Amino acid sequence: MRRTEYAQLGLLLLAWLVLGALFAVRTPVWQAPDEPAHYNYVRQLVEGALPVIEPGDWDQAYLSEVVGAEFDPAYPVTGITYEDWQPPLYYLLQLPVYRLSGGSLAAMRLLSVVLGAGVVALAYWVGRCVFDGNVPFALGVAAFVAFLPQHLAILGSVNNDSLAELIIAAILALLVTPWSERPAAGRLLALGVLLGLGFLTKATAYLMAPVVGVFLLARWWPRPGGSSFAGLARALLLVFGPALLLGLLWWGRNLMVYGGLDVLAKAAHDAVVVGQPRTAEWIAQYGLAGTLGRFLRTTFVSFWGQFGWMAAPLPGWMVALPAAMIVAAIAGLIANTRYEIRNTKEGAPLVSRISYLVSPASLRVLVLGLTFLLTLCLHIYYNLTFVQHQGRYLFPALIPIAVGFTAGLGHWLRPLVQRRAWVAWLLPVGFAVLLGGIALFALWRIVPGLAPG
């Protein structure tokens, strides 16, 4: 990377830190999804106990009353502890911040913002690898991740999503960076440690296990003139060995605490959250079509911006702008795919076709595409039981989504870029102006209205 690249990325990171800090300090107390429960996890750690989810941690009637009162200080939140089933790593990182700041919510939010800066930086690196060193496109990927209003709101709160996204971004960065035929053991071990840390952070990070596994199989599956079974076995062992050892620390504890085979504490969680809206109830009330419509509409709007506890969405006219961008990006991806197919030589020998399938470019598409598909499937699967139509559940795949937007919109700029190279800078600047402008609007016109009274 050249000095100018560092400067450009530095400016982008500075903008992220400023906007993230503004969300952290301007968002009224507890007006971020599940924030009191995440905060209380840290409080319990400070008091010397590793939390255990149990009956009474979820009180639907009281929670609805508190949220309806916009978290008026008259309502205590110390009993909101339904996140006690979560893995502990994020909360352990928050532990010294809590102690040094006297439990300051703003200080704890700022730690999430700092972790988010790592996500933005890694998004840039992923974009740089995917687009073969194209700096404007790499900045486009990072700018989309940095300025998405809802992403700023979530990572400007106390929420373990920030660390989970950072670990996912680091795994993606390792996977898309070129690999040698026999990579150093340290790189494979680092990938395994990251995956294991994901197991200790949040269930959404688990989706990276099949992504990593498929990548290793595709990259080192024995083929003529290439890898052997020994190379594949070495890669699998060096990655999944440390990952499983780290995961066992948490899974073994859950087996001892919750019993049965509840290694993720998911069954204990589902048994406690009695009264949480269920999809079956919504289908009975609104019908299948009505429930599906609400799922699609709310997921879409809340991906871009629906603040507080889903109480304050962006105005309809403002959401229409990203909707138009989606149509243009999808059309660009389709057109670009057809362009690549037309320019791919047909009738190549088998060895050449296999080499193409395991080429760095194809493996990057595989990694990013699979991450997106698994994230989408996990979002749909969760909503088969609980009503959780929140677009933030797609954020584990935010970097692949940002790459898709950059590639799709970049396709339409290709003819202009060939004549005037500066046109490529319209992508990062456009993302910054559009999404950053919406974020500033939300900061001054929507977020303050979440305060009580």
pLDDT value at residue 349: 47
Which residue carries 């992220």 as its tokens?
16
pLDDT value at residue 226: 62
Distance CA 159, CA 90 (A): 8
Contacts (Cβ under 8 Å, ≥6 apart) of 452:
28, 69, 70, 71, 72, 73
Q: How many domains does one find in the chain?
A: 1
Q: What tokens does 328 get?
A: 């243009």
CA distances from 396 to 81, 169, 306, 432 (A): 24, 8, 18, 21
Domain that holds residue 410: 3-450
DSSP state of 443: I
pLDDT value at residue 350: 41
Mean pLDDT of residues grouped by 10 in the chain (453 residues)? Answer: 88 97 97 96 95 92 92 93 96 98 97 98 97 94 98 97 98 94 92 98 96 94 73 93 97 93 91 86 92 94 95 91 93 86 55 54 94 96 89 97 96 86 91 96 94 81
pLDDT value at residue 299: 95
